[in-house]
Structure formats: structure tokens, C-alpha cells
């Protein structure tokens, strides 16, 4: 989350206040560590097919396996998610 928000801030798509709110909201989420991802059998092929980073492919794999929406502002990641039949969460980028 931090990496993506820093990039969007650098690109001028988010300001420091928005980044702070996003990171604060993320810190309140009930996060669980998932060790079940099949990196070589599933994640790597997703990364290759959709020309995404391993990180992005892992997000896609997790959303697909757990049948949960993916939240992203990245258009390429949104396209890959939709191509894989993953629901993409929509949210307001503004305040």
C-alpha cells in the first residue's frame, strides 16, 4: 500500500493528506498473513500473462483465490483483474 501511494503522490494524483488518510485507514484493517500463494504455479504465470510485477500478480492471485474485490488506482492492474474475472472495488479518489 505504501509503495503505491508514494508513487501516486509523486505523480501528483494524490496529495500528502490523501496518502495519510489512506495509510491510516489501511492500518485499521484486520490484516492476515497468507502463506498459501502458489508463487511458481499461479503467481508467475499471472505476472507473465498480464505483464505485471510479481507484487501485482500476487494481489491478483489473492483476490481471485479468496473471491474478494481488488482495490487499485492502477489502470493496468484493473484491466488484469477484470480479465481474470476479479471484481474491482470502486472508490472516490477525492476527500
CB 19 within 8 A of CB 5: yes
User: Can you give the pLDDT at residue 40?
Assistant: 86
Residues contacting residue 72 through CB under 8 Å, at least 6 positions apart: 4, 59, 78, 81, 88
Residues contacting residue 9 through CB under 8 Å, at least 6 positions apart: 15, 16, 18, 19
User: Can you give the pLDDT at residue 94?
Assistant: 56
Q: How confident is the model over 37-53, as pLDDT tens digits?
A: 888 899 999 999 999 99
Low-confidence residues of the chain: pLDDT under 50: 95
The residue count for the chain: 95
Amino acid at each position: 500500500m505504501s509503495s503505491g501511494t508514494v508513487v501516486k503522490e509523486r505523480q501528483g494524483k494524490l496529495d500528502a493528506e490523501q496518502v495519510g488518510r489512506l495509510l491510516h485507514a489501511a492500518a485499521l484493517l484486520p490484516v492476515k498473513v497468507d502463506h498459501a500463494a502458489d508463487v511458481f504455479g499461479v503467481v508467475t504465470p499471472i505476472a507473465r500473462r498480464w505483464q505485471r510485477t510479481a507484487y501485482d500478480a500476487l494481489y491478483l492471485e489473492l483476490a481471485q483465490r479468496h473471491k474478494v474485490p481488488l482495490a487499485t488506482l492502477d489502470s493496468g492492474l484493473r484491466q488484469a483483474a477484470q480479465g481474470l474475472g476479479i471484481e474491482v472495488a470502486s472508490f472516490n479518489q477525492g476527500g
